[in-house]
Structure 1
């Protein structure tokens, strides 16, 4: 029989530049999830610092990434719980011509070991592209974990079905997406049509991605005070049902739900998506860019 995993999705309002305070809040949620026998806890993107790259102390704060990664590894072992600690922004090669900031998601096992590491590929808008370095053309990795084969994506990666296809063809059935997605990410024109446009985007894409890949998704977004633009909507999604649990658009909190992996096999038997992707004659096996000789 397929396993049932108890998943805790955590929606936080990270206070800008408050590393230790945000970590302690996250750790409190994770300890609570562990006491409720959760197998996995997932935090949002940028949960340690918020996204404030113009703060003059932001880059220095990112230099402490190893300290907090180790704290999460110790916490995972202490609580015997698998953790995806949102994302941690890492400063590498500080003060050199190759200095860079990387936005990184980790899968930490219930034994406190790193099973996987993923650097954000699809950067959002000019502000992320100005400050962060993308993983660019590096392949999307899939990791062997205590929960089976898992893929990690980050925030705007959600918009690209190709990312999911790559993970699915490599065997991932569970895809975890830490996110910092706000309602104000929409353009003024879009907001004039629908002030909740980004919420519609998230709900629609998350459910669609589950169906079109016969996979499960754990989506952890930042939340915050009403009127500040936070989208929230953290959820655990599967085919057929859509969201098994879905947090509100603003508030902090945690939801714990049983994720029955058998549902994915029922959906695959019906839709045969992964089966068709594995065929040698799959007719969508194409390149998105023409060979250089034809450019």
Structure 2
């Protein structure tokens, strides 16, 4: 019988350039999740610093990244819970990198991913992982992949992870309702929530995988009256979104039944087709006879 993983979606509202305060809040949510029997807690992108790259203090607020990674490792080991601590911005020479980690329940780092598909304003501040392949990795929850925010717009990223055996794909995100032009926003003020809800569900169906999508939320006292998009959720094929939050800060706990993925693959046979020698979409594979593609 396939396992059921209890997953905590920790949709925090990050205070700009306040990593110590933001960590304490995240740790409080994670302790609560562990007390409720969760196997995995996932946080949003930029959860320690928020995304304020033009703030003079932003770069300095990223300087203690290694300290916070160690804090999350210690927390995971103490509570015996796996943690994806959103993303942590790291400095390398003069460059900034946006990194997601998967920390196992014993405190070891099972996987690391540097954001590849940067949102347009990020390209002025961050370095992409460029041509590095998307790779899945083994965890106590099975084979997992990591993507970040705007990566969800690229089906190829999911395909590469699924080809490498990923069954669960965690996507820490920092996405607001006004990350688009005024013209786009005026067409539909709820358009970005529509984008997220539609795309996350689609990626789950078309890859017979579970997508653990965790976005930043707005201040809890404002409820849904915020520009933060929120809508953190776990999506699986056949069922769709589970435990979906609104736009405000909060936590949702989802029972992820891995048997659903087995049933979906039995129906759609997506992974089976991708393993076939004659599969057409082989951009990640080198073939000697390209005439067969």
Q: How high is the TM-score relative to the length of structure 2?
A: 0.94
1:118 equivalent in structure 2: 113
Matched residues, number: 280
Question: 1:196-235 counterparts in 2 under 5 A?
Answer: 196-225=190-219, 226-235=224-233
Contact 2:216 2:229 in 1 (8 A): yes
For residue 17 of structure 1, give the secondary structure of its aligned residue in structure 2: coil
Residue 141 of structure 1 deviates from its aligned partner by 1.5
Q: Deviations over 1:130-177 (max 9, x none)?
A: 000000000011111001100000000000000000000000000000
- Does the 8 Å CA contact 1:214/1:267 hold for their aligned counterparts? yes
Residue 150 of structure 2 corresponds to residue 156 of structure 1 = yes
Taking the TM superposition and a 5 Å limit, the aligned residue runs for 1:30-179 are 30-93=30-93, 99-125=94-120, 127-179=121-173
Identify unmatched segments of 5+ residues in structure 1.
Answer: 94-98, 288-295
Higher mean alpha-carbon deviation, 167-176 vs 276-285, is at: 276-285
Match of residue 180 from structure 1: 174
Matched residue of 1:202: which SS?
A: helix
8 Å contact kept, 1:9–1:235: yes
Is 2:243–2:252's contact at 8 Å kept on the other side of the alignment? yes
SS in 2 for 1:74: helix
Equivalent residues of 1:63, 1:92 under 8 A apart: no
Distance 1:185 1:220 in 2: 17
Instruction: Please report the RMSD computed on the Cα atoms of aligned residues, expressed in angstroms.
Output: 1.0
Q: Would the aligned equivalents of 2:18 and 2:61 in 1 still touch at CA under 8 Å?
A: no
Which residue of the other structure, out of 253, 256, 265, is the alignment partner of 2:253?
A: 256
Residue of structure 2 in register with 1:96 after alignment = none
Q: CA deviation at 1:224?
A: 0.5
Runs (4+) off by over 3 Å: 225-228
SS state of the match for residue 50, structure 2?
coil
SS at match of 2:280: coil
Q: Does 1:3 align with 2:3?
A: yes
Inter-partner Cα distance in structure 1 for 2:67 and 2:82? 18
- TM-score using structure 1 length: 0.93
Contact map agreement 1:5 1:260 (CA 8 A) in 2: yes
- Cα deviation for residue 194 of structure 1 reads 0.7
Q: 2:275 aligns with which of 268, 278, 287?
A: 278
